[in-house]
Structure 1
Amino acid sequence: MDLIRTLIIGNSGSGKSWLAQRLAERLQVPWTDLDRIHWLSDEHSIARPRAEALAMARIAAEQERWVIEGVYGWIASELLPRTTTLIWLSVADEVCVANIRQREANDDERLIALLEWAGSYRQRDGSSGYTAHRQLFEGFDGCRIQLMDWTEITDFASAMHYAD
């Protein structure tokens, strides 16, 4: 398993950031959250222009070593040629919704929209849905790892922590 350039995809609330942070610390590599590239602000209300977001993602992927994570299949697909390992967190939608509820303090319109978004992962069309992520995963020629629940994710992170 070559984790030198690891891309993690999956639904909102699946644990991408949690796993990416731990892998980046273990491997001593930079970690990029695609939310910070896709959105112009922390409120997740204004998307960055597509060409600008892709340019920023490509700059991050030009580094020698990295962990990049996000839900945006249209960005992830651009990074696959530089990716050595693709990890797909295909966690059940209801678990993702519960994880978001647990981590978010505010119960505002943004949270409601995020919960609806996460709850529709397996039904939604577009590059950020289950079907698109499955196609990215199945079409990837490098090392592929599919983690389907929290136990598999934490076991993987623990194994990486103790690997030498």
Structure 2
Amino acid sequence: MNLTRTLIIGNSGSGKSWLAQRLAEQLREPWTDLDRIHWLSDEHSIPRPRAEALAMARIAADEQRWVIEGVYGWIISEILHRATALIWLSVDDKECVANLHQRETQDDERLVALLEWAGSYRTRDDSSGFAAHQRLFDGFCGEKIRLADRKEIAALIHHL
């Protein structure tokens, strides 16, 4: 695969950040987490104005080499044309929820909302749900791969 400009999509807790960090390290490319573009606050409670978020994503995608990861289909659809590769982490919702439980240290209202949101990935009808990611994946003409579990994700890293 030509991983010069790689987009990684998938549910919250699917392993996007884990994979992006390792891929960026191996390829010596910058890594952009779309959470840092979408949210103004560290608490993930205040979204950045849409136009500002899109402008920031476009700036990141205009670079020659990168790894960008995130769940936000409305942002991804704006930069997908710049990608040379698309990786979709289509991990089971229950596994994603379990991963979030392990990752998050605080048990508060924000975590409860995140767990509910991740658990509804396959039924949500928004730009960040399974159906939207399926459309992005199906419509992408470049090199792409869909990974269904941790074993396949780890195998990709080991293959590189």
TM range (shorter): over 0.9
* Partner in structure 2 of residue 50 of structure 1: 50
C-alpha separation in 1, matches of 2:157 and 2:115: 26
Residue identity (%): 73
Read off the aligned partner of 1:79 and give its amino acid letter. Answer: I
Rounded to whole Å, the distance in 1 between the matches of 2:107 and 2:85 is 36
Q: Which amino acid aligns with 2:101?
A: R
CA drift at 1:159: 1.1
Please tell me whether residue 115 in structure 1 is matched to residue 115 in structure 2: yes
Q: Quick one: distance in 1 between partners of 2:91 and 2:42?
A: 25
Question: Could you tell me which residue of structure 1 aligns to residue 37 of structure 2?
Answer: 37
- Give the gaps of 5 or more residues in structure 2: none
Partners of 1:103 and 1:52 lie apart in 2 by 29
Give the residue type in structure 2 aligned to 1:107: D
Q: Deviations over 1:14-35 (max 9, x none)?
A: 0000000000000000000000
Shift of 1:105: 1.0
* Whole-angstrom CA distance in 2 between matches of 1:86 and 1:151: 18
SS at match of 2:52: helix
Separation of aligned partners in 2, 1:110 and 1:130:
22
**Residue 127 of structure 1 aligns to a residue in which SS?**
coil
SS class of match (2:68): strand
After TM superposition, give the deviation of residue 116 of structure 1 in Å: 0.3
What pairs up with 1:97-108 in 2 under 5 angstroms? Answer: 97-108=97-108
SS in 2 for 1:67: strand
Deviating runs (4+, > 3 A) in structure 1? Answer: none
Do residues 91 (structure 1) and 91 (structure 2) align?
yes
CA–CA separation in structure 1 for the residues paired with 2:4 and 2:100: 29
Paired residues, what number? 160
**Correspondence 1:26 to 2:35:** no
TM-score by length of 2: 0.99
Which residue in the other structure is 1:15 paired with? 15
